[in-house]
A = this chain, B = another copy of it.
Amino acid sequence: MDKKIRIKDIARMAGVSAGTVDRVLHNRGNVSDDARIAVEKIIEQVDYRPNMHVSSLSLKRRYKIAVTTPQYSSGAYWESIHNGIKHTLDEYENIKVEYHVFTYNQYDIYSCREVFEKISRFEMDALIIGTTFREETIKLCSKMDERQIPYIFVDSSVDECKPLAFFSADHYMVGRLIANLITSITPKGSNIGLLQAVRTGDSSAYTTILRKKGFTDYLSEMKSMNQVLKIPFSVSQPEDNERHLSHFFKNHKNVPGIVVMNSRGSIVSDYLYNNNMDNVKMICMDLTTPNIEAVKKGHIDLLIGQGPEYQGFYAMKTLLEYLIFKKPVTIQNFVQLDIITKETVDYYKSF
């Protein structure tokens, strides 16, 4: 009865051949208005769900897709996003995609400019953007708009741009979540240490701003009496951090909880461990290799994951489905937030 509809069925119903239906489905042109309208009418009536895997079998076209993110090392956050992207290409192994990676130094705006400049001229069918520098991203995107090249954001979006879609955590909610958790696991009204990344030269890191806003909003809505103490911290000069931390803890003796809203939490948890400060609760972000180790050892109490593999996977999958089938796309895609503890870390599945 409700058997699967195939192209052949549509062709028969519209009184044309399968070739013509295919031409309509893919906007390939060379179709008379009459034929096109007839086919479109049938397509509206029936529930035709093309099978990507079957399509890919005969698809000859090559797709050229560029991906730009900050540089990353093994086990880091951005690597997971790339792994997710690769996973899509693996799942659709028959689709011929040329996949070009452009990475930049996320602590050096000049590096980003240079790379984005190169991307601006690069010939491609679509672009996946992992963004950190706001202004440069806006510039890049306007170039893409001009060239009519679709792009998808991962990790976070930029309001001023018009991406095909974005896949990211709801960073504001991440902040609220962390606030909820840290106030739940520390005594009422505790002082809370908040790691404050010192980013040189750039005012961006919009994600962190959103997270902090969520964090402070939650605290004030709850009328919590917690005092939030900022701990300065530098990613580009890691040698300074030992000093930052010891300075902080010298001045603040009673800090039962610390939250880190970037992925470098293990630096703090290592410090705490090395200095035998084992009753400070820690909530950190992202399942990087060092963070995972710290959770396993009990140095980090709760780790928040933002499904980076998932983000990459769906960004690429959405792109392919859009490119190949013009499949309609949901613009805003907030990913699941994972809360990991020592007990659950071993069972965390990336794929």
Measured between alpha carbons, how far is A93 from B180 in the docked complex, in Å? 43
Listed stretches A75-83, A99-107, A114-122, A332-340; interface member: A332-340
Q: Does A176 contact B (CB under 8 A)?
A: yes
Measured between alpha carbons, how far is A80 from B94 in the docked complex, in Å? 32
Q: What sequence of 0s and 1s flags, for each residue 330-351 of chain A, a beta carbon within 8 Å of any chain B beta carbon? A: 0000111111111110011100
> Which residues of B have CB within 8 Å of A180?
341-343
Q: Is the CB of A343 within 8 A of B337?
A: yes
Measured between alpha carbons, how far is A288 from B53 in the docked complex, in Å? 33
Number of A interface residues at 8 Å Cβ cutoff, please give it: 32
The smallest beta-carbon distance between A57 and chain B, in angstroms, is 6
Q: Is the CB of A170 within 8 A of B339?
A: no
Contacts A338-B338, A348-B336 known; A93 to B343 CB distance under 8 Å? no
> Which residues of B have CB within 8 Å of A181?
341
The smallest beta-carbon distance between A283 and chain B, in angstroms, is 11
Query: Which of B53, B177, B336 contacts A53 (CB under 8 A)?
Result: B53
Q: Is the CB of B94 within 8 A of A347?
A: no
Q: Is the CB of B93 within 8 A of A51?
A: yes
Q: Is the CB of B336 within 8 A of A51?
A: no
> Which residues of B have CB within 8 Å of A54?
53-54, 57
The smallest beta-carbon distance between A317 and chain B, in angstroms, is 13
Measured between alpha carbons, how far is A62 from B229 in the docked complex, in Å? 64
Q: Is the CB of A93 within 8 A of B4?
A: yes
> Which residues of B have CB within 8 Å of A338?
338-339
Q: Does A173 contact B (CB under 8 A)?
A: yes
Q: Does A46 contact B (CB under 8 A)?
A: no
Q: Is the CB of B335 within 8 A of A173?
A: no
Quick one: closest B residue to A342, CB to CB? Answer: B180
The smallest beta-carbon distance between A279 and chain B, in angstroms, is 11
Quick one: closest B residue to A348, CB to CB? Answer: B336
21 pairs, A vs B, C-beta closer than 8 Å = A4-B93, A51-B93, A53-B54, A54-B57, A57-B57, A176-B343, A177-B344, A180-B342, A181-B341, A184-B184, A184-B185, A184-B281, A185-B185, A334-B347, A336-B347, A337-B343, A337-B344, A338-B338, A339-B339, A339-B341, A339-B344
Q: A4-B93, A173-B347, A180-B343 are in contact. List 8 more A-B contacts (CB 8 A).
A: A53-B53, A170-B347, A180-B341, A181-B341, A184-B301, A187-B187, A337-B343, A337-B347
